[in-house]
Structure 1
């Protein structure tokens, strides 16, 4: 039986499913201390017990994105604030190749923030 976390990925149509699964794997490979939980009806990733990021689909654009929990402390031109105070998001186009180096640099920047604590 699939968990709600599994269902989140496997109930999506391609290419969104593949994009979300790739993003999940990219996030998890950044550090062995990153864990996944089903929180607020979405996959949330924690680093050392603190919110790190989450995956979701943008309502307006229909594209998967990584929401960065402390996005307000991150500075990267690809991160969007929209109407959020603390979070920033990184939209991805599931029909194009992901810019893995750019995604990993943002994820690493966020890890460095959480490593200072």
Structure 2
């Protein structure tokens, strides 16, 4: 757990605050969500299956939520770029977090696993 905690603590503001807020928002969406460190980044797992992660966009230098099964979603705020499976939700570090959109997309991602569209 120390490496995961260090990941958050080693980020510079405002990214650090955004990531810590996102962690809390995501974890409170379901009791079966766990936060783990994989590939050097914080991933969130639903019943041991990775469903989203946090990272910083290389070109835009903005934080984002990566949705592992993003290909199943049509929301205009999700961007595919050169990914075949994942889509990302880029957040503006100068604005308040769009809480309703974040909670909605996290719930949709979890529901993919709950409904069996994606196998747990």
Tell me the TM-score normalized by structure 2: 0.92
The answer on 1:69 being equivalent to 2:68 is: yes
Cross-structure match for 2:98: 99
The answer on 1:7 being equivalent to 2:6 is: yes
TM-superposed CA distance for 1:107, in Å, is 0.7
The answer on 1:114 being equivalent to 2:109 is: no
Q: 1: CA distance between counterparts of 2:14 and 2:35?
A: 22
Residues 29-69 of structure 1: CA deviation (Å, up to 9, x unaligned):
11010011111111111001211100001110111100001
Cross-structure match for 1:36: 35
- Which contiguous aligned blocks of 4+ residues in structure 1 show a shift greater than 2 angstroms? none
Aligned to 2:31, what secondary structure does the other structure show?
A: coil
Q: 2: CA distance between counterparts of 1:75 and 1:27?
A: 20
**What is the number of residues matched between the two proteins?**
116
Q: 2: CA distance between counterparts of 1:19 and 1:78?
A: 18
TM-superposed CA distance for 1:13, in Å, is 1.2
RMSD: 1.1
Q: 1: CA distance between counterparts of 2:37 and 2:4?
A: 6
Cross-structure match for 1:50: 49
